[in-house]
Structure 1
């Protein structure tokens, strides 16, 4: 947020229009009309900024920054490493990535560079420093945008060249110290694959080794570290002459980079959100996915984040690319803000005339200037954000629930050869998150290294791998009163994919003993009863034994493991641990979490049940929720294309128009209302919420 203002604007590519000064002049006029206060510049401008090696042409960019500043428009200035100029790849072909099969890429596309390459690092650092020196302290430059969607395209960022092989071996030496330790960690005596020299180790390859899960997971860790290190290198380069903070735009469930690692290299988290709205008439599954990823970005630093890219209309790279229906642009933008974003930014401001993204959505189309539905809806969004800036200043979401999503666990569970080869970790996590979302309960998305204190409920679905110290952290969390939920196929292996032996690391906390895991086909689907309703048991079905301390809430009803526990609850210290021994459906998770949330003392801010498709989030200032002076801003969103009414909501004030609301709240199709918590009348008889609104918050 910029001095009480939410950022509104997006990627601007004036280098495509340098021979059309009338277009550049029109752009600024239209930006002001659309209530744009911020644009990102230079993201893919390397070939124009440095047309030949060591020759920098930055005057055009400085002039545009200055003209934007005169119009009151702020700038997020990018480093252009996302796409290399042809002079670089022609003279230094070693900067291009090598694929897993040993073939070096040809020039072209984006992110086609080796993150290890000394040449690449030298050339981009030199340009970054020049950008920093010339432009990094301009008054209207507020933030650095490091590269673009790091790791995108070409094998998800992984380069397998000899330089990367050498760097990987050095990384392994630092991690394990000796070959003996590495061989033990990777269990290489199996199939006689013991390494006797570091130079024998090679990255996973289709024509080589891919069956040692420890190798595969460590390679993924290395690639993530290498990309993060490259980002840090760029951060240090721009910091040489500029004190502006830095961000890097993350992506939706991007497997190749552990974002918990990458976020350490930047000051502000941002991400690019492109939900596939209107693929089906039921928008809820898409809304849940977007909400989860907004929550994840906020959770990385427990601070507001930036929505760096979104489309104001449609994308151009799916098989089917529907336009946003009326109302959806406003709703999807407000959803980002509701989950903690301090911006709504677009790709892109103006559509280009040619090349790959000429039909990608933009604020300004090829024709008609401001006379389009998209432009009008963007303008309305900008106006609304202007009114919310001061209201939301100093606020962020502060959930009491958390869902564990860990990149190393993702790599391990989907790369191992086990009871099922079609396990989808993000989908499993999303199902549990959705069960909370449908009840209006927000959750942080944390990894196994995060602090669990302060949460009332922690859910860890399909938590196959346990990192060092994680079991102890969970034990302490439950012992002090926390509610912990985990599932089948959890706590199976350590950080190098070696199976735990003897007993489960949290057997005492969970109160169950795992015996075996079935992976039934559809014909052998089992079932169980919970609270008088029958639900399917599928995907994976563990056979477990309940210890004396555990209470069995459901049992299998079929097959040889009929009567064995499916749902258990085990008291431990002041808290409880729930174990779900089988996969089921959303209906079961909804019923189950309804009980667990009650046990944890959690309810949504409205304190009432929500109609299907309605979501609730809350942004608040720091402090105790019982403090009458704490600012609490609640977003109520309707993801159905029909009107709905939420009943039993108590007393609130509309944050945008001051309307007093009591008892029920009407929502338009794809509507969003922003409410201020009404303290109900204080002991001295005056209405705090009314005072807050009158003061403009």
Structure 2
């Protein structure tokens, strides 16, 4: 188990280093994470590589018994490189360059930038290839974060056109047919006529825009793979990681693809950030952790856990005493088996002066330092259980193409796919169920219950896998706007919705409506009053049992929520967004049908069961600022109880 801090010795006087490391050891650390933003320190002039500073850092760390996670510095190119090659910079939609001075300002399509990245990563790897103290290498930093996943420069247009040429085998007529470019006279004679989907009057072709999303993702994935492959080639057997930011489902890059060639996945866990009045909901924090674990369906590292307030220009909420330590326990309960705090000491200069670390600029240990120290002392007792894999009974499936399709055509102003997934996830969270949030391409046949929310883009392969899963006894919960479009982001001619799944769900969707309001549609059924909103399908059941119907004047004959027996299993269909109580009731019904037992927990209390080889633990986590009694245990505000059974 790696426990440590993010340490940036290049930002401090060399005279601080030994005292810093002594205190890092006093904190209870066995690792420091370094190097990720220090390109100029490693190559102050082109070709003049100098790793002597970090040689000294590593030598001292080894003397203190500390190991190293070393980051490649490619997130922040040096000024001399940009001065020589200004077109390395990415561009905004209007063509204006992103000027030097921030981070992540480079263009992933730049062959020049990739060449310089190859050189620095190769030199770095060769220099430290025999350094046993380096336990992992981190490639870049938070790829695709802060808007860096999109660039609108001429290089990206050329690369996009080449991407399309490869995809369609050089056949421009096949592209025209696939996209339906006869609409609005958009036929192309050559691939170099194709534009980037920058803002225009009305909107660009949806199929073109989906391929643009795929291109942006592939571009970033190949950039990550470039570095991973160098490190694996130069240091056989090394561990390569990447530190993914939050909000992965909203990015123009598929993080599950980025993770494929990594050895471990890492996560920067920020339950609160600058300008937030209060932290994310406990279930939303858990969702982020479950999503990261689902990238490879493996345990993960947290490379940035917080203790203090965070923010670049606007400072955020200060975690209350015990609250950030509680978030650390929550991360461990959800599959984190190594944790590093951001950062050892807050910066006195630069853009992150108000990202508070374990120590403030006065360098005096206070509450945050001692909370982290206490966590490090205690968590080691549970390493055997926390390092074990997490078997989950429930999976929420997502699909990159579908998420992109909704970015392209939102359809309802209120329809936010990530928010809807979190809403569904929160019901399982409150019921004490462990959930994997995974790409739909993964095998989901072993789960008892799978949830398929708003998977608008599907294909026959997915439909067949879903049918086989339910027929074998699985329980599926499918929402509206699933199985509507094909892989080219087009509607399917001659097939009813849900495409290729109407027999599985026992229904046909005859019409749809986006209502742009919450809880505005009355429902009737299951002996309760209910409401719904956002969107609705007008469902005509064939074999499905109706659980709720619409109860407004014009659409009383249509079903809103159904359940269909299929083989040995069952498939629920939510044709609208029901109110919270109704959604909870429906998902509890699905859980029970899947043989799961929902817990009844107080609001703000989380229960996670972890099984090791010799013992099983229940983590009871109180996210409330007041004491709570549950399952025979009294929890203090932000308290954590670990029960063995």
TM over 0.5: yes
The residue that corresponds to 1:409 in the other structure is 402
Measure, in 2, the Cα distance between the counterparts of 1:229 and 1:514: 40
Structure 1 residue aligned with 2:443, among 451, 455, 471? 451
Q: In the alignment, is the contact (CA less than 8 A) between 1:273 and 1:309 conserved in 2? A: yes
Please tell me whether residue 270 in structure 1 is matched to residue 266 in structure 2: yes
Q: Does the alignment pair 1:543 with 2:527?
A: no
How many pairs align? 638
1:462 Cα deviation from its structure 2 partner? 1.6
Structure 1 equivalent of residue 228 of structure 2: 235
Distance 1:559 1:208, change over 3 A: closer
1:280/1:66 Cα in 2 relative to 1: closer, same or farther (>3 Å)? closer
Gaps of 5+ in 2: none
Listed as ranges, the matches of 1:108-187 within 5 Å are 108-153=101-146, 155-177=147-169, 178-187=171-180
| CA shift digits 1:491-521 (9 cap, x unpaired) | 1111111112322220000011101112225
In the alignment, what sits opposite 1:595?
A: 589
Query: In the alignment, is residue 559 of structure 1 matched against residue 553 of structure 2?
Result: yes
**Partner SS for 1:180:** helix
**Would you say the 8 A contact 2:329–2:640 is kept in 1?**
yes
The 5 Å alignment of 1:314-353 reads: 314-317=309-312, 319=314, 321-353=316-348
Displacement over 3 Å in runs of 4+ = 207-210, 277-283, 317-320, 521-524
Matches of residues 51-62 of structure 1 in structure 2 within 5 Å? 51-62=44-55
Distance in 2 of aligned mates of 1:392 and 1:580? 36
SS for the counterpart of 2:292 is: helix
Are the aligned partners of 1:11 and 1:349 in contact in 2 as well (CA < 8 Å)? yes
Cα distance in 2 between the residues matched to 1:165 and 1:278: 34
**1:16-415 matches, cutoff 5 A:** 16-17=11-12, 20-153=13-146, 155-177=147-169, 178-207=171-200, 210-243=203-236, 244-254=238-248, 255-276=251-272, 286-317=281-312, 319=314, 321-370=316-365, 372-393=366-387, 395-415=388-408
Residues 254-301 of structure 1: CA deviation (Å, up to 9, x unaligned) = 312101111113111111111128999996x52111111111111111
Q: Does 1:12 align with 2:7?
A: yes
Provide closer, same or farther for how the CA distance between residues 490 and 422 of structure 1 changes in structure 2, counting only shifts above 3 A.
same
- 1:495 and 2:479 matched: no
Q: Which residue of 2 aligns with 1:572?
A: 566
User: Does the CA-based 8 Å contact 2:105-2:148 persist in structure 1?
Assistant: no
Change (3 A) 1:344 1:429: same
| Correspondence 1:438 to 2:430 | yes
The match for 1:654 is none
1-structure distance, mates of 2:300, 2:197:
35
Taking a change above 3 Å as real, the CA distance of residues 538 and 472 of structure 1, as seen in their structure-2 partners, is same
Distance (whole Å) between structure 2 residues aligned to residue 524 and residue 297 of structure 1: 32
The whole-number CA distance in structure 2 between the counterparts of 1:411 and 1:119 is 29
In structure 1, what is the Cα distance between the partners aligned to 2:202 and 2:159? 18
Q: Which runs of 5+ in 1 are unaligned?
A: 1-5, 622-628, 648-663, 678-697
Aligned counterparts of 2:227 and 2:203: Cα–Cα separation in 1: 32
Offset of residue 530 of structure 1: 4.5
Q: Distance in 1 between matches of 2:273 and 2:606?
A: 16
3-state SS, counterpart of residue 355 of structure 1: coil
Between the aligned partners of 1:211 and 1:583, the Cα distance in structure 2 is 29
Relative to 1, partners in 2 of residues 1:390 and 1:482: Cα closer, same or farther, differing over 3 Å? closer
8 A Cα contact 1:308 1:345, kept in partner = yes
DSSP-derived class of the 2:642 partner: strand
Question: Partners of 1:303 and 1:619 in 2: how far apart?
Answer: 14
Deviations 1:588-644 (A, max 9, x none): 11111111111000136xxx42111111223335xxxxxxx6643322211111222
Three-state SS of the structure 2 residue aligned to 1:269 is strand
Question: Displacement of 1:320 after TM fit?
Answer: 5.2
Q: Is the 8 A contact 2:524 2:549 kept in 1?
A: yes
Separation of aligned partners in 2, 1:356 and 1:468: 49
Deviations 1:338-361 (A, max 9, x none): 000012212211222111101211
8 Å Cα contact 2:414/2:517 also seen in 1: no
**Secondary structure of the corresponding residue to residue 445 of structure 1:** strand
User: Could you report, residue by residue, the CA deviation over 1:205-258 in whole angstroms, capped at 9, with x for unpaired residues?
Assistant: 125894211111111111111111011111122233323110111121231210
The structure 1 residue matched to 2:625, chosen from 617, 641, 649, is 641
Q: Does the 8 Å contact 1:510/1:577 carry over to 2? A: yes
Secondary structure of 1:452's partner?
A: coil
**RMSD across aligned positions (CA):** 2.0
The offset of 1:45, in angstroms, is: 0.2
Contact 2:544–2:565 under 8 Å retained in 1: yes
Query: Residue 468 of structure 1: CA displacement?
Result: 5.1
1:672 has 2:640 as partner:
yes
Deviation at 1:74, TM superposition (A): 1.1
| Distance (whole Å) between structure 2 residues aligned to residue 11 and residue 281 of structure 1 | 26
Q: Secondary structure at the match of 2:319?
A: coil
| Correspondence for 2:602 | 611
Measured after TM superposition, the shift of residue 318 of structure 1 is 7.2
Are the equivalent residues in 1 in contact too, given 2:450–2:477 (CA < 8 A)? yes
